[in-house]
Amino acid sequence: MDTTGLDPINMSYVFSVEKSFDTRAFYDYMLQHWSDSLVYSAIYLVVIFGGKAYMANRKKFELRPYLAVWSGLLAVYSILGTIRTVPELIWALSHHGFEYSYCNNSYLDQGKVSAFWCCIFVLSKAFELGDTLFIVLRKQPLIFLHWYHHITVLVYSWSSYTDQIANARYFVVTNYTVHSFMYSYYALRAMKFQLPKWVSMFITSLQLAQMAWGVIIVVLSFSALTSGRECVTHYRNICYCLLMYFSYLILFAHFFYNAYVVRKQKKQ
């Protein structure tokens, strides 16, 4: 069997952009420009809250076709990201064990498919800010969880990439996976498909599980580090990450309670 052009981890075809992508150059770029994420976040907040004030006394835009295309593209991107990163995680677990999977950053090695998709993941967090424009222009409720989640993920992703932390292997894979469902749901809703209530509950439950799993991985990384075992992370990143994921867990749990428990009780 000719294995030329195949990924040795999952034996799938490696595209030229995945193989030739210069992860070192990207790393050097992020070292110099990760703080741009703070500027983007500030601009984002001005635009969305300024836009919200501007739209206060104006008729809302429908934008359904554009929202369907936007969400559909992000859904396809997330599905591809899931397909291309999950095999590397499975390989790490099956060949080296659980602790290796969150303490060794081999997923970022030059030439690996997962390295390319991790770089794209980091950049995508800036583009995903566009989600909020649809909320503002369509005059839908802009909740704290939405914009807080966007800016903290952006800043954390960009800053953490410069640390090359190992446990981000899980953060990238779980985010890609959950977003595959989430953006597919948004696209279908924008196309006026009537989906049962359990679908939205399932997606919110996935998000809750993602945040709980994030907390667990961070705690395990902290335990390995304090025990003197080799683990590619540091205490500052662990502190930021734990605060971020724990705050998400509380906010998503609060959202789930209000959206599904309280509303159900009111209907009854």
Q: How many other CB atoms are there within 10 angstroms of residue 240's CB atom?
A: 16
Query: Per the domain annotation, does 1 fall within a domain?
Result: no
Give the pLDDT confidence of 18-43 residue by residue, as tens digits. Answer: 988 999 999 999 999 999 999 999 99
Query: Per the domain annotation, does 10 fall within a domain?
Result: no
Query: Per the domain annotation, does 248 fall within a domain?
Result: yes
Which pLDDT score, from 0 to 100, does residue 185 have?
97
Please tell me the distance from the alpha carbon of residue 166 to that of residue 129, in angstroms, as a whole number: 26
Catalytic residue among 33, 95, 146, 149: 149
Q: Residue 209 corresponds to which tokens in the numbers above?
A: 């599980």
Nearest CA-CA partner of 234 in 105, 58, 49: 105
Of 5 and 32, more confident:
32
Which pLDDT score, from 0 to 100, does residue 265 have?
59
Our count of domains for the chain comes to 1
Which residue bears the tokens 């190992």? 166
Give the pLDDT confidence of 58-88 residue by residue, as tens digits. Answer: 999 999 999 999 999 999 999 999 999 999 9
Percentage of the chain modeled with pLDDT above 90: 87
Which pLDDT score, from 0 to 100, does residue 3 have?
47
Q: Report whether 169 contacts 99 (CB < 8 A).
A: no
Q: Report whether 166 contacts 221 (CB < 8 A).
A: yes
Q: Which amino acid is at 207?
A: Q
> Does 96 participate in catalysis according to the annotation?
no
- Phi, psi dihedral angles at 265 (to 5 degrees): -65, -40
Which pLDDT score, from 0 to 100, does residue 139 have?
96
Question: Is 120 strand, coil or helix?
Answer: helix
Which residue bears the tokens 């894979």? 173
Distance separating the N- and C-terminal Cα atoms of the chain: 63
Which pLDDT score, from 0 to 100, does residue 12 have?
75
Please tell me the distance from the alpha carbon of residue 124 to that of residue 166, in angstroms, as a whole number: 20
What is the domain extent for residue 162? Answer: 16-267
Query: Per the domain annotation, does 8 fall within a domain?
Result: no
Which residue bears the tokens 């991985």? 217
Which pLDDT score, from 0 to 100, does residue 2 have?
38
Q: Counting every residue, how long is the chain? A: 268
Give the pLDDT confidence of 222-251 residue by residue, as tens digits. Answer: 999 999 999 999 999 999 999 999 999 999
Query: Per the domain annotation, does 66 fall within a domain?
Result: yes
Which pLDDT score, from 0 to 100, does residue 14 have?
86
Query: Per the domain annotation, does 46 fall within a domain?
Result: yes
Nearest CA-CA partner of 155 in 65, 33, 54: 33
Whole-model pTM: value is: 0.93
Which pLDDT score, from 0 to 100, does residue 42 have?
98
Beta bridge partners of residue 6, listed in sequence order: 13
